[in-house]
Chains A and B, each alone.
Chain A
Amino acid sequence: QQQVKQSPQSLIVQKGGISIINCAYENTAFDYFPWYQQFPGKGPALLIAIRPDVSEKKEGRFTISFNKSAKQFSLHIMDSQPGDSATYFCAAGLTGNQFYFGTGTSLTVIP
């Protein structure tokens, strides 16, 4: 059973627009929800993360929205820039244990 489902698979956004990537998880015990950003030829790098006791977390242009009752969370990239073009992975898990990753979203920001 896939623990984390991510959509869309790919996304094309105009510069300055908002990019939205969605994820849904299965296990209500999960207590940590990170997002990773991966550039070609590099390993995924932690971008932003949230715990289920808050509904939103913002860091610069990146915001996570979290809906515990729906078991969903999303990444919003405001004022998207060409440099944001990368693959984004959501993940979920229990602190101290393994994370389950989504299948990734390839984001392209058009100048």
Chain B
Amino acid sequence: DAGVIQSPRHEVTEMGQEVTLRCKPISGHDYLFWYRQTMMRGLELLIYFNNNVPIDDSGMPEDRFSAKMPNASFSTLKIQPSEPRDSAVYFCASRSTGDYYGYTFGSGTRLTVV
């Protein structure tokens, strides 16, 4: 298995622009998580899905952030409009129900908003 695949690896955008981050979970995994990592706040859970349905989005910072999972093999995290404080590394992770070995993380998308 190729693992959790995220794209792009790096994104540089101007303030006010829309940014879309993409994630392909491991086949067969029914949970998908979006995390944001910064030096100040560490790993923050933004939202997670189970069987493509959003379960908890309480970590989404504000209405500028939205996430979708149209099918079991694809999810997006969108920021519109982007702001410099959104600069961070965004990770996607997946797991399967009853998987005692924890999450599998992707390699992340480093977002820089200038």
Interface residue ranges, A against B (CB under 8 Å): 32, 34, 36, 41-46, 49, 51, 89, 91, 95-96, 98-104
Give the nearest-CB partner of B9 in chain A.
Answer: A41
> In the assembled complex, which residues on chain B have CB atoms less than 8 Å from the CB atom of A51?
100
Whether A43 lies near B93 (C-beta < 8 A) is: yes
Interface residue ranges, B against A (CB under 8 Å): 4, 33, 41-43, 45, 48, 56, 91, 93, 97-98, 100-108
Whether A46 lies near B98 (C-beta < 8 A) is: no
Whether B107 lies near A44 (C-beta < 8 A) is: no
Partner pick for A46 among B41, B56, B103, CB 8 A cutoff:
B103
Given contacts A98-B45, A98-B48, A98-B56, contact A44 B105 (CB under 8 A): yes
> In the assembled complex, which residues on chain B have CB atoms less than 8 Å from the CB atom of A102?
42
The CA of A101 and the CA of B4, in the complex, are separated in Å by 19
